[in-house]
Amino acid sequence: MIFLFMSVFAHFFQSGWTGANERTFVAVKPDGVQWRLVGEIVRRFERKGFKLVGLKLVQASEDLLREHYWDLRNRPFFSSLIRYMSSGPVVAMVWQGLDVVKTARKMLGETDPSDSLPGTVWGDFCLEVGKNVIHGSDSVESAQKEISLWFGQKELQSWESSSRRWVY
């Protein structure tokens, strides 16, 4: 019975993340925090019309980072990635809006900064792949996983923007 309830709840919870309610996870990495880029990144997302529903400054534990980057665990750079991400504070954010996952990835640019256009975060602020200032979910499914790793349900805010009717 509990399993059935949890399955229905999970389906309802995930299906609510569509349209203008879609959410994505974005994290300013330690080098982005050190470069004082947090305000610039928040500004870009706000100007795009997305709604901030979660924000916190955290020193990520190695356990959290290993879980977050689990799919990269067999890559040769995995250990250095964990060291880099645990080297300083991270600003974790959840943004909400229409097609926010896809749009956020376009706002970030190409993973390799040399392939990123000016005007994108990676094009404007990154020099190498290994220290690339920011992370953004690459799919709705990974966004859901990452948000649940970094935020408890009570840490996410549900609020109505007075400008919503002007954006959508």
Sequence ranges of the domains in the chain: 16-153
Instruction: Give the contacts of 103 (CB within 8 A, at least 6 positions apart).
Output: 48, 50, 97
Average pLDDT for the chain: 90
User: Which has more confidence, 60 or 168?
Assistant: 60
Which CATH code fits 16-153? 3.30.70.141
27 half-sphere exposure, CB direction, 13 A CA radius: 25
Band the pLDDT of 111: cuts 50, 70, 90. Answer: confident
Contact criterion met (CB below 8 Å) for 111 and 54 = no
Q: What is the pLDDT, as a whole number, of residue 57? A: 98
Active site residue 135: yes
* Count of residues making up the chain: 168
Q: What is the pLDDT, as a whole number, of residue 8? A: 40
Distances (CA, A) of 39 to 21, 44, 46, 75, 163: 23, 9, 10, 32, 21
Task: In whole angstroms, give the CA distance from residue 91 to residue 33.
Answer: 7
Q: What is the pLDDT, as a whole number, of residue 4? A: 42
Band the pLDDT of 128: cuts 50, 70, 90. Answer: confident
Handedness of CA 160, 163, 165, 167 (dihedral sign): negative
Q: Write down the pTM of the prediction.
A: 0.86
Which tens digits make up the pLDDT trace of 68-82? Answer: 999 999 999 999 999
Q: What is the pLDDT, as a whole number, of residue 165? A: 80
Residue tagged active-site, from 135, 137, 143, 147: 135
Using the predicted structure, report yes or no on whether residue 124 has a pLDDT greater than 50: yes
Instruction: Give the contacts of 116 (CB within 8 A, at least 6 positions apart).
Output: 109, 110, 122, 123, 126
Instruction: Give the contacts of 15 (CB within 8 A, at least 6 positions apart).
Output: none
- Where residue 85 falls (left for φ over 0; alpha for ψ -120 to 50; beta otherwise) is alpha
Mean pLDDT of 84-93: 98
Q: What is the pLDDT, as a whole number, of residue 15? A: 46
Band the pLDDT of 88: cuts 50, 70, 90. Answer: very high
159 half-sphere exposure, CB direction, 13 A CA radius: 12
